[in-house]
């Protein structure tokens, strides 16, 4: 048996085509742990679909409140926007391909 800790992996990503990784493969699995009040840049992926399961906590995403047990899927070119963690939150994330460069920050410019 091998043992490791989620803290030893970059931002919770532990399976995929990156370092460090438990398994080099063409999909990704990560445990995203975020603190209450934390936010993220608006972003999208051009190539991959993201499958997400809220393990614990509550998150505001794309004007929806998601909580423990909710599953949400982000398709290619769909922007994840206005992300705010309402409580400490854990989300299990699976991307159907592993390309660390497939993340594009989306800036909203208001006139």
Closest CA to 12 of 94, 107, 111: 94
Predicted TM-score (pTM) of this structure: 0.89
Q: What is the mean pLDDT of the chain?
A: 92
Strands in 84-85's sheet, in edge-to-edge order, are 64-67, 58-61, 84-85
For residue 109, is it within any domain? no
41: domain CATH number is 2.60.120.10
Structural domain boundaries, residue 20: 7-104
Number of folded domains in the chain? Answer: 1
For residue 2, is it within any domain? no
pLDDT by residue (tens digit) across 67-100?
999 999 999 999 988 899 999 999 999 999 999 8
Closest CA to 6 of 92, 69, 96: 92
For residue 110, is it within any domain? no
Question: If DSSP codes are grouped into helix, strand and coil, which group holds residue 106?
Answer: coil
For residue 26, is it within any domain? yes
> How far apart are alpha carbons 31 and 13 in whole angstroms?
6
Contact 104, 48 (CB under 8 A): no
pLDDT by residue (tens digit) across 20-69?
999 999 999 999 999 999 988 889 999 999 999 999 999 999 999 999 99
Q: State the pLDDT at residue 111.
A: 66
């Amino acid at each position: 048996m091998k043992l490791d800790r989620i803290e030893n992996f970059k931002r919770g990503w532990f399976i995929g085509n990156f370092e460090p990784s438990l398994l080099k493969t063409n999909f990704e699995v990560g445990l995203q742990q975020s603190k209450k009040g934390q936010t993220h840049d608006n972003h999208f992926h051009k190539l991959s679909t993201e499958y997400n399961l809220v393990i614990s906590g509550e998150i505001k995403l794309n004007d929806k409140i998601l909580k423990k047990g909710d599953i949400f899927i982000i398709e290619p070119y769909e922007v994840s926007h206005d992300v705010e963690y309402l409580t400490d939150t854990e989300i299990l994330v699976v991307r159907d391909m592993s390309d660390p460069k497939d993340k594009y920050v989306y800036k909203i410019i208001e006139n």
